[in-house]
Each structure stands twice: as C-alpha cells, then as structure tokens.
Amino acid sequence: MVRALLTGGALAPKTAVMTERFKGSFTQQEPLPEAAIEAALAVLKHGRLHRYNTVPGELSETALLEQEFAALTGAKYALAVASGGYALATALRAVGVRPGDPVLTNAFTLASVPGSIASVGAVPVFVGVSDALTIDLDDLAAKAGQARVLMLSHMRGHICDMDRLMRICDDAGLTVIEDCAHTMGGGWNGVASGRHGAVACYSTQTYKHVNSGEGGFLITDDAETAARAIMLSGSYMLYERHLAAPDPAVFERVKYVTPNISGRMDNLRAAILRPQLRDLPAQVARWNERYRVLEDGLRGTPGLTVVERSGAEEFVGSSFQFLLAGWSEAAVREVVTRCDARGVELKWFGTPEPHGFTSRYDSWRYAPEQSLPESDRVLRGLLDLRVPLTFSPEDCALIARIIRDEVGAVWQRGG
Ligand SMILES: *Cc1c(COP(=O)(O)O)cnc(C)c1O
C-alpha cells in the first residue's frame, strides 16, 4: 500500500499500480495421474485398443471400467461410449423415442442436449430455468403431459429437488433420462446423481470431472434398456464380454431388432479413466474448496446475487455462476469486458449470439420456436466461470476480488 502510493505519484494513476491481474488459464486442466499414464502405456505396448480385442482370459480395460463405474454409482448396468452426447442419443433410442416424438428438456443447458434429441429426429420441448438455475418444476408440472420422456440436464451441476421432480414425472408417466455431465460425483439427499431417473448419462470429455479427451457413460437398472444400449453402441454379438451387462437371455429379445450405431469406448481411454475414477472423491473435495472461496469472496457484493445451494444438494463445484439480476445488457457486457482485461474470463448466458459453449435456447432453431420470458430474465443476468483444478484456492480468492471490484465499479455508475 505504502509502496503503491510512493511509486504511483504523478507518473502512473494510482489504480494502475494497485490493480491485480489474474494470469491463470481457464481452460488448462491438470496433467493425468501417473497411474493413468502407466496404464495408457501398457495398452499402447500391447496394441489391443479395440474393446473386444482381447487374448484368452483377458478382461478389457473398457469392460473393467464399466464394472467400476457401475459400482461407483450403484447402478446394475453401465456402458462406456465415445462421448456424452452419444450416451444421451443412445439413451433416447434405448427407451424407445421415435422420430417426431416430443421430448421435454431444459431451456438452460448446453447445445449437445437438444442436439441429441434432434439427432434421433425427436422434437425438443423446453422447460424453463429457475433463479436457483435448476429446472423450473412448476413449468415442468404444467408441461408434463406433452411428452413421454424428460431429458433432465443438471446444467452446471445445479440439482433441483429430485424428490419433487420424480413425483411430477411418476404421476405423469414420464421416463427420466438424466444428463449428469456436470454432476458426476455429486448427489441429492444421499442418492448419487443419476440414480433417480431410468437412465443417466455422463461425459468424460476434457472439461468434465474425469478426462479422457472424449468419452461418456450410460447407466441404468433396467435390463432391456441396458441390452438395447449395448447393442446400439456397436457390440456386434460380443455382448457377453461386458461385465456390467444384463444376462445373455435379455439380449435374445432385442438383438435382431436393435440397430448397430457404433460409438464404443476404446481401451486406451478406459485405461486412463480407471485411475481417475478412483481419485474422483478427492477431486470433488478440491473443487468444492475452490467453489467456497469464490462464493465467500463474492457474497455480499452489491448488485450481485450468489446462487444459494440447497443443503440436500451434494454438488461438484467445477464451475461457478452468479447473477446480475435486473442489469442492463450494456452493463453486463461492461463487467465481462472489464474482468477480461484483468484476466478473468466470464461467460454470459444472456448473450443474443452463441459464443463458445454458451448458447441460448432460442439459437437452437431446429427446435420449434418457444417463448420462456421468465427464463430469458434469469439468463440475461447469468454469468459463468470455469474452475479448473489448476487454480489454487488463492487464485480463486484473487478472481473473486477482481469480479467484486469490477461489478462494484459498474454498479456504482448505475448497474
Ligand atoms: C459436455 C456436456 C454434454 C455432452 O458431452 P460431450 O462428451 O461433449 O458430448 C452434455 N450435457 C452437458 C450439460 C454438457 O456440459
């Protein structure tokens, strides 16, 4: 402080000397654990990368990964696939969604979710987002009669009251497919995220909770759904090599009528995922430590609303959201620009044009046009930042100080 005053003086504006900048990268993940690198090398050395390429007596890395993922989530059946989006489309096919069928889904989610619905020729029907950034359960109750399936996206890790959601869906006869891309390792009221609905899908893409570049999982307790998903994924007739699959008798009922739409996981990616699954609980704790630092640093900032989390929600703080509720577009833009100038990359879900991973439901124009004014209001003030584990808790404290400063500066001039 004294130094800043002394060196500032007439030559430089005082603020320029005292202004903190963040120098980290919002897209840099941690290196893979040593155990994953060793496992990958072993696969590369024997060369059997295809999941069904095994020597007698060998269990493939992919089959073992599925067995371990089923154990981790408590599901009866698990299938590893090529991407999270592929898992979502496969789930829709496996529960019997046909071209032209309406499918309910979140208005606030990533493009791969409505995209998976469109990929099977079905029609996304959007359900609004609440101020808690979860699905609007009143809107869901109002629309529940319009479809047979809900694809529920736990977008950015915000988990709604799952007990109430399941009551609404059970009463309306809605089959629930959960998109757990941001809730792997999370839960609701002691139940793992993904264990409420009929099927759940996960992504193992680089920006999610475990990193295989690309990849995904599908879990279910329903034997026929699992058998169909396995056939769909491109198992040819080798389904008996799966370790988290239903009895061969179940496949007899589906194998002639289920098309092969290849999207398998391979042994190289499975090998690097297995050690990461073992580390997941420790990683979740590290994410949440960082999340709490951001939350503490931002709570009480005038004009800024922290999204309060329910005590029943066991979330994974791999990203952070806050609201500038009621702010003008110009003022929100200014906050984004000013934070960016100090090294803090905020994504704005209210922007009219899709940018990077943020897009609004009205830019998915392959879906029928729908109007959700309450969701528009929430999204207009919604800002988002990634929290990669390469950030230290001190980094997160600095990021919070920068956001607090810049939100404060714009707010003082009228929001
Ligand atoms: C990443 C993501 C997906 C899809 O995962 P991919 O592996 O990229 O296909 C689905 N839903 C949400 C909310 C996601 O963030």
Average pLDDT over residues 9-18: 50
- Per-residue confidence (pLDDT) for residue 4, from 0 to 100: 41
Site residues for ligand 1, CB cut-off 6 Å: 83-85, 109-110, 112-113, 153, 155, 179, 181-182, 203, 205, 216
Distance from Cα 203 to the centre of ligand 1, integer Å: 6
Ligand 1 center to residue 61 CA distance, Å? 23
pLDDT of 3 strictly over 70: no
Looking from the CA of residue 85, the nearest atom of ligand 1 is 9
Q: Are strands 149-153 and 175-179 parallel, antiparallel or unpaired?
A: parallel
pLDDT tens sequence across 32-77: 999 999 999 999 999 999 999 999 999 999 999 999 999 999 999 9
Confidence at residue 102, expressed as pLDDT on a 0 to 100 scale: 98
Which residue's alpha carbon is nearest to atom 7 within ligand 1? Answer: 84
- Which pLDDT value is given to residue 1? 36
Q: Which atom of ligand 1 is nearest to the CA of 216?
A: 7
Ligand 1: nearest atom to the Cα of 215: 7
Average pLDDT over residues 5-31: 71
CA of 69 to the centre of ligand 1 (A): 18
* pLDDT of the residue at 198: 98
In the reported structure, the alpha carbon of residue 353 is separated from the centroid of ligand 1 by a whole-number distance in angstroms of: 20
Can you read off the two tokens belonging to residue 141?
Answer: 């109750």
Q: How far is the CA of 81 from the centre of ligand 1 (A)?
A: 13
Q: Average pLDDT, stretch 328-348?
A: 97
Write out the DSSP string of 45-81. HH---STT---TT---HHHHHHHHHHHHHT-SEEEEE
Give the C-alpha separation, 14 to 7, whole Å: 8
Most informative mutation of 81, 105, 113 for ligand 1 (most atoms within 8 A of CB): 113
Q: Which pLDDT tens digit goes with each residue over 184-232? A: 999 999 999 999 999 999 999 999 999 999 999 999 999 999 999 999 9
Q: Which of the two residues, 285 and 13, has the higher pLDDT score?
A: 285
Instruction: Point out the ligand 1 atom lying closest to the alpha carbon of residue 203.
Output: 7
The pTM assigned to this predicted structure is 0.94
* Spatial separation of the C-alpha atoms in residues 77 and 63, rounded to whole Å: 11
The CATH number of 4-31+280-413 is 3.90.1150.10
Pocket test for ligand 1, best of 208, 218, 269, 359 (most atoms within 8 A of CB): 208
d(CA 352, CA 332): 13
Please tell me the distance between residue 113's alpha carbon and the centre of ligand 1 in angstroms.
Answer: 7
Task: Give 241-306 as a DSSP string.
Answer: G-SSS--HHHHHHHTTTS-----B--HHHHHHHHHHHHHHHHHHHHHHHHHHHHHHHHTT-TT-EE
CA distance 170 to 176: 9
The whole-angstrom separation of Cα 41 and Cα 202 is: 25
Whether domain 34-275 has CATH 3.40.50.2000: the reply is no
Average pLDDT value over all residues in the chain: 94
Q: Which of 112, 133, 364 to mutate to test the pocket of ligand 1 (most atoms within 8 A of CB)?
A: 112
Closest CA to 169 of 93, 105, 251: 105
Taking the domains of the chain in order of start, what are their residue ranges?
4-31+280-413, 34-275
Taking CA atoms only, the protein residue closest to ligand 1 atom 5 is 84
> Parallel, antiparallel, or unpaired: how do β-strands 216-220 and 199-203 relate?
antiparallel
Give 110 Cα–ligand 1 centroid separation in angstroms: 7
Q: Whose CA is nearest to atom 11 of ligand 1?
A: 181
pLDDT band at 413; cut points 50, 70, 90: confident
CA distance 60 to 273: 13
CA 365 – ligand 1 centroid, Å: 19
- Over range 315-338, report the average pLDDT: 97
Residue 359 — very low, low, confident or very high, per pLDDT cuts 50/70/90?
confident
How far away, in angstroms, is 208 Cα from ligand 1 center?
A: 8
Ligand 1, pocket-test mutation among 83, 88, 110, most atoms within 8 A of CB: 110
Q: What is the pLDDT of residue 355?
A: 76
Does the pLDDT value for residue 7 go beyond 70? no
Distance 118 CA to ligand 1 centre (A): 15
Which numbered atom of ligand 1 lies nearest the CA of 153?
13
Q: What is the pLDDT of residues 370-403, one digit of tens each?
A: 999 999 999 999 999 999 999 999 999 999 999 9
Closest atom of ligand 1 to CA, residue 86: 9
Please give the distance, rounded to the nearest whole angstrom, from the Cα atom of residue 401 to the centre of ligand 1. Answer: 30
pLDDT band of residue 352 (cuts 50, 70, 90) is confident
Which of 88, 152, 205 to mutate for ligand 1's pocket (most ligand atoms within 8 Å of CB)?
A: 205
Contacts of 146 (CB under 8 A, 6+ apart): 102, 104, 125
